[in-house]
Amino acid sequence: MKLPKHLKFAAGAGGAFLFGILFGWVMFPAILKGQLKKEMALSKKTDVRKMWETIPFALNFKVYLYNYTNPEEVQKGGVPIIKEVGPYHFDEWKEKVEIEDHEEDDTITYKKRDTFYFNQEKSGPGLTGEEVITMPHVFMLAMATVVSREKPAMMNMIGKAINGIFDNPADVFIRVKALDIMFRGTMINCARTEFAPKAVCTALKKEAVNGLVMEPNNQFRFSLFGSITEDSNSIVMVFPGVKYVLNQRSTSIGC
């Protein structure tokens, strides 16, 4: 039996409509989801894997420091006069290294590496990173604050330790070059043999304090960004002719 043309047209239109619904609401989302899942997987052959391993552009990292212009008055109880210095601009490159794929449990083990290049052109006018900044000694004050809160009976010993490892400081301020306090580090003398300095340095080694890097001959190098976050595995600071690598650990994620 032949169907009238208008019924054939209606049947065709209905079939197309039904196919459109099935494709648009069922098949296409499933296909798209599968394709996205395939592209987003961290398998070695995908573009996403390449971007995941190495971000293809630098991130902006800016630092402002605050210079105390009247430390002597502040030490006597006066009101501090502070001058903002900055920004110090760094180009931050993030990458993952020593990558290992574990097919048995579908995970990846890797180490992170953040590399910071000091960008003088993008920094504040005339800033080179060699400017001497006067600021409260963060590490010294942190030691005193923690001990006074947790073990106040040890404050006398901490005072002796501070005099030893910081070579009898005249006050609680540090005069240091900008790049040193940010990344390159300032030295803490743990080669002292007196009881108080030695006890504090032993505790520092045991606790693996963030921002401290062990140097030869029982010396520590302290900087504000020596360990930016607890999750940082490797931080590389690059300056003219100098490279520092800090703080490597392994990380594992599911693919």
Amino acid at 190: C
Report the domain count for the chain. 2
Question: Are both 34 and 63 inside the same structural domain?
Answer: no
Q: What range does the domain containing 222 cover?
A: 53-254
Using only C-alpha atoms, the chain has a radius of gyration, in whole angstroms, of: 30
Q: Tell me, yes or no, whether 45 lies in a domain.
A: no
46 in a domain, yes or no? no
Q: Mapped to the 3 state alphabet, what secondary structure does 47-84 carry? A: HHHHHHHECCCCEEEEEEEEEECCHHHHHCCCCCCEEE
Q: Do residues 14 and 113 both lie within one domain?
A: no
- Name every residue whose Cβ is closer than 8 Å to that of residue 63 and which is 6 or more positions away in sequence: 86, 87, 88, 90, 182, 225
- Per-residue H/E/C for 140-194: HHHHHHHHHHHCHHHHHHHHHHHHHHCCCCCCCEEEEEHHHHHHHCEEEECCCCC
Closest listed residue to residue 218, CA positions, set 206, 230, 194, 202: 202
Binning pLDDT at 50, 70 and 90, where does residue 188 land? confident
Q: Are residues 163 and 84 in the same domain?
A: yes
**Does 104 lie in the same domain as 12?**
no
| Highest mean pLDDT of the ranges 3-12, 25-34, 77-86, 106-115 | 77-86
Does residue 196 share a domain with residue 77?
A: yes
**231 shares a domain with 177:** yes
The pLDDT tens digits for 148-168 are 787 777 788 888 888 888 888
Q: Are residues 17 and 136 in the same domain?
A: no
Instruction: Please check whether residues 203 and 234 belong to one and the same domain.
Output: yes
C-alpha distance from residue 254 to each of 39, 101, 105, 108, 229 (Å): 16, 10, 8, 6, 22
Higher-confidence residue of 230 and 52: namely 52
One domain for residues 25 and 142? no
Same domain, 119 and 23: no
Identify which of 114, 121, 117, 113 has the alpha carbon closest to the alpha carbon of residue 87: 121
Query: pLDDT tens, 196-251?
Result: 888 888 887 777 666 677 777 778 888 888 654 334 444 454 444 343 444 444 43
Same domain, 232 and 123: yes
Q: Residue 47: inside a domain, yes or no?
A: no
Give the per-residue pLDDT at 167. 83
64 located within any domain:
yes
Output the average pLDDT for the chain: 74
Name 232's Cβ contacts closer than 8 Å, sequence gap at least 6.
112, 114, 247
pLDDT of 101 strictly over 50 = yes
